[in-house]
Amino acid sequence: MGSIGLIVNPAAGRDIRRLTGGASVVDDYAKRRVAECVLDGLTVAGDRLEVLVMPDRTGIADHAVAEAPDEIDASTLEMPVKETAADTRRAAAAFRDAVDVAVILGGDGTTRDAALELGDVPLIAVSTGTNNVVPSAVDGTVAGAAAALVATDAVSAEVVTTRHGMVEARAETPTGERRLTGLAAVEVSAKSFIGTRALLDPSDLRGGVVSRARPGDIGLPAVAGGLESLAPDERGGVALRLAGAEDAPRSVRSIVAPGVTATIGVTSAERLGPNDAVAFDVPDGVVGADGERELELTDATVELTPVSDGPRLIDIDAALEAGAAAGCFDAVGSFIEDE
């Protein structure tokens, strides 16, 4: 029997960028409906599946289990609930050796937290967060169908997954070493405190390293994407050093947050190979990951390194097309008649 691990982050899609930008609100009801759709999509495979759902205190997991189709054996994972990012990491760690595929409902932060613990478990990230560079804006039913095909070995995971890069940060501070990992980007900001965590003012950005670069992304990957292209499964990264547009030799118009565009001055853009490190001096600032400020630093040097051992992402379209080619969607007695 194939198995699926489902993580729904109740806190995703609720930060201050709903007030300062154009990010949409993804409330508990919307997350419940997406989770329901994922479970409905799992029935496409035709085989009975086991689903473990990360528990929460908002009722999302309980609702998903109660409304699961008869063909699905759904239950909540037994674990303590702290209502922090540690819940996602704890659930993903439990899924590492227990499931065939993980489905993550959240943004880049939730996907990153899960990816750090899932190991080689293939995953599908469905966008229900704020910063959604990696998660797909896809219907939950479609995501569930793709997950089911991989979990039941109807299609080969090796054929329909790609390995996304990540960025590791190591800061040397007067009080010791601190570390951080980003999924799509690690950013260096001149803002001297974390505050609400969300990056609100683009002029605070001083640079960073991205694992992907496309103008259709959001944040630092969009800035890099305005200069050159780096596919999510390409090895290496791009290092950017930024300044005010009036002081830089080049500037890029980019989408820096949902509903926020800005002209960003670029003093340098350097292509990095895997494990090539660059250093940034941080006299007083913050290092963030995927649009969220994380580490307050003073008189520090931070070393940023793109790495290639990120999450295994399922290409949803490729999985569904492979399933169709293998006859996975054929119903008994169905046919297509040529005219």
pLDDT digits (tens, 9 = 90+) for 136-148: 999 999 999 999 9
- Cα of 243 vs its chain's centroid, Å: 27
Identify which of 56, 105, 52 has the alpha carbon closest to the alpha carbon of residue 81.
Answer: 56
- pLDDT band, very low/low/confident/very high, at 23 (cuts 50, 70, 90): low
How is domain 166-307 classified at the architecture level of CATH?
A: Sandwich (2.60)
Residue 98, classed as helix, strand or coil, is coil
Q: What pLDDT does residue 334 have?
A: 47
- Strands (E) located in the chain: 2-8, 49-53, 72-76, 101-106, 123-127, 161-163, 166-173, 176-182, 185-189, 205-210, 237-243, 250-257, 260-272, 278-289, 292-307, 312-314
- Spatial separation of the C-alpha atoms in residues 301 and 118, rounded to whole Å: 30
Structure tokens at 133: 């560079």
pLDDT digits (tens, 9 = 90+) for 169-201: 999 888 889 999 999 999 999 876 555 455 557
Domain ranges in the chain with CATH number 2.60.200: 166-307
Asked whether the whole model's pTM tops 0.85, one would answer yes
Identify which of 83, 14, 15 has the alpha carbon closest to the alpha carbon of residue 54.
Answer: 83
Q: What pLDDT does residue 281 have?
A: 94
Q: What pLDDT does residue 339 have?
A: 46
pLDDT digits (tens, 9 = 90+) for 52-100: 999 999 999 999 999 999 999 999 999 999 999 999 999 999 999 999 9
End-to-end C-alpha distance for the chain, whole angstroms = 40
> What residues are paired with 127 via a beta bridge?
106
Structure tokens at 286: 């913050």
Contacts with 335 (C-beta within 8 Å, 6 or more apart), sequence order: none
8 A C-beta contact, residue 149 and residue 143: no
- CB contact burial 191-221 (16+ within 10 A = b; e otherwise): beeeeeebbbebebbbbbbbbbbbbebbbbb
pLDDT digits (tens, 9 = 90+) for 246-298: 999 999 999 988 888 999 999 999 999 999 999 999 999 999 999 888 899 99
- Above pLDDT 90, what percent of the chain? 78
The CATH number of the structural domain formed by 2-163+311-325 is: 3.40.50
Mean pLDDT is lowest, of 7-21, 123-137, 279-293, for: 7-21
Domain ranges in the chain with CATH number 3.40.50: 2-163+311-325
Q: What pLDDT does residue 39 have?
A: 98
Q: What pLDDT does residue 35 have?
A: 97
Residue 228, classed as helix, strand or coil, is coil
